[in-house]
Amino acid sequence: MSSTAADSTAAAPTRRPGRRRDAAKDALIVDAARQLMVEHGFDAVTMDDVAERAGVGKATVYRRWASKVHLAVDAMTAAIPTLTVDDVPDTGTLRGDIMMLPGLIHRAREDAATDLLGPARDHPEIADQLHQRLARDRVAVIRGLLERAQVRGEVPAGRDLDMIAAVGPAVIFYAKAFSGEQFTPELLERVVDGVVLPLALGQPA
């Protein structure tokens, strides 16, 4: 669940003495952080806020996460069910498959995650976590759908599937981050029909 929390599932043949770490607290803390950050943004949330909301001491938080950024990464991503191609029902067409995605993804969290881009810059290993969870997962699923469509014969061989899979999330993120546009079904349709499908299905240039 957490990239930095001690792995409580590790086989510990010789358990050390002392009270065991309450695994339930992990969830409490992550939930508190997620709620607060989704609502107020990364900067406006303090570690004291998180600890208080979680009904937990600050030390307990820091015993599990090394910093606010570490926690935020987990908070923003942990609860996102790792979507895989198999989770997307086969509708028979690439377009149909792609249109299923928004319903499967909770987007509020991705917005909040934007706040992490800056702070995560000087923590490469954290940025990595963030990237993996937000972008790679998302792109990987679309890539899977493209492959499925290729098997089906919809998508010709020889296309740069990695690139095409990335275009959709990229444009939508860009529109949100820089142009302030909200995500809407119309935007999705415009991207899918104007960019993704032409690239995937259209004639070679």
Q: Which residues bind a copy of itself (CB under 8 A)?
A: 40-44, 114-119, 121-122, 124, 127-128, 130-131, 134-136, 160, 163-164, 166-167, 169-171, 173-175, 177-180, 190-191, 193-195, 197-199, 201-205
Picked from a copy of itself, DNA, none, the partner binding residue 59 (CB below 5 to 8 A depending on kind) is: DNA
E strand segments, 55-171: none
E strand segments, 40-125: none
Q: What is the DSSP secondary structure assignment for residue 56, as one 8-state letter?
A: -
- Segment lying near DNA (by CB under 7 A), choices 57-65, 92-100, 172-180, 197-205: 57-65
End-to-end, the C-alpha distance of the chain in Å comes to 44
Pick from 9, 11, 14, 153 the residue near DNA by CB under 7 A. 14
Residue partners of 6: CB distance under 8 A and separation at least 6: 21, 64
**Of residues 27-56, which lie at the interface with DNA (CB under 7 A)?**
45-48, 51-52, 55-56
Q: Toward a copy of itself, which CB reaches closer, 40 or 106?
A: 40
CA–CA gap between residue 115 and residue 111 (Å, rounded) = 8
Q: Identify the CA nearest to 131 among candidates 147, 110, 149.
A: 110
- By the 8 A CB rule, do 85 and 141 touch? yes
Pick from 18, 103, 124, 185 the residue near DNA by CB under 7 A. 18
Q: Toward DNA, which CB reaches closer, 126 or 192?
A: 126
**Tokens 């820089």 found at:** 178
Assess 60 for contact with DNA (CB under 7 A): yes
Binding residues for DNA (CB under 7 A): 8, 14-22, 25, 45-48, 51-52, 55-60, 62-64, 66-69
